[in-house]
């Protein structure tokens, strides 16, 4: 079920999309202003300007999963698609896959979460969904 959830706070963090499936897990797209990291990053900020992967996940991970991410990050990867850099994270239970990038003056965080049973049964599909996130 797709639920529109934008809180329309132009100066703050907003959840723009949520989707949940009781058998497979949940996903959400969270949008945050890059100005939380610097006064000015230009008209089209890049995630590399915001910081390295560990800084980005430390700053925004708690907003995504609702708790501190220290010691919970199992893997961090950097990928490039269409000239845009994406940071990819896998966090320990509660299981989460987070893909982050920046465009314009916003940081985009794509979050896929699942409970233990959903993770066990659907991890390959959840990973594929997480890896497919793009901002155009």
CATH number for 60: 3.40.1000.10
Residue 75 scores a pLDDT above 90 = yes
Predicted model pTM: 0.86
Residue 108 lies in a domain: yes
Instruction: Give residue 56's pLDDT.
Output: 93
Highest mean pLDDT among 7-11, 29-33, 34-38, 87-91: 87-91
Q: How far apart are CA 18 and CA 37, in angstroms?
A: 25
Largest CA distance in the chain: 44
Which pLDDT band, with edges at 50, 70 and 90, does 6 fall under?
very low
The per-residue pLDDT for 13 is 64
Q: Is the pLDDT of residue 102 over 90?
A: yes
The runs of H, that is alpha helices, within the chain are: 47-50, 53-65, 116-131
Give the SS3 label for residue 89: strand
Determine, yes or no, domain membership for 124. yes
Domain region containing 9? 2-131
pLDDT of residue 5: 46
Range of lowest pLDDT (8-12, 34-38, 61-65, 114-118): 8-12
Evaluate whether residue 79 is within a structural domain.
Answer: yes
Asked whether residue 126 is assigned to any structural domain, the reply reads yes
- Read off the pLDDT band of 41 (50, 70, 90): confident
Is 68 domain-assigned? Answer: yes
Number of domains in the chain: 1
In a domain, 32, yes or no: yes
Mean of the per-residue pLDDT values of the chain = 87
Rg (CA), the chain: 14
Query: Is position 136 within any domain?
Result: no
* Torsion over CA: 19, 44, 9, 61 (sign): positive
């Amino acid at each position: 079920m797709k639920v529109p959830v934008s809180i329309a706070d132009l100066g703050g963090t907003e959840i723009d999309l949520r989707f949940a499936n009781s058998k497979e897990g949940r996903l959400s797209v969270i949008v945050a202003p890059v100005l939380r990291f610097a006064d000015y990053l230009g008209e089209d900020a890049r995630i590399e300007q915001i910081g390295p992967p560990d800084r980005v996940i430390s700053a925004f991970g708690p907003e995504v999963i609702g708790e501190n991410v220290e010691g919970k990050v199992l893997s961090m990867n950097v990928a490039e698609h269409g000239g845009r850099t994406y940071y990819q994270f896998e966090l320990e239970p509660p299981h989460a896959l987070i893909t982050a990038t920046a465009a314009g003056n916003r940081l985009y965080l794509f979050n896929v979460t699942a409970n233990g049973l959903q993770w066990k049964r659907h991890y390959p599909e959840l990973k594929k969904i997480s890896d497919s996130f793009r901002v155009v």
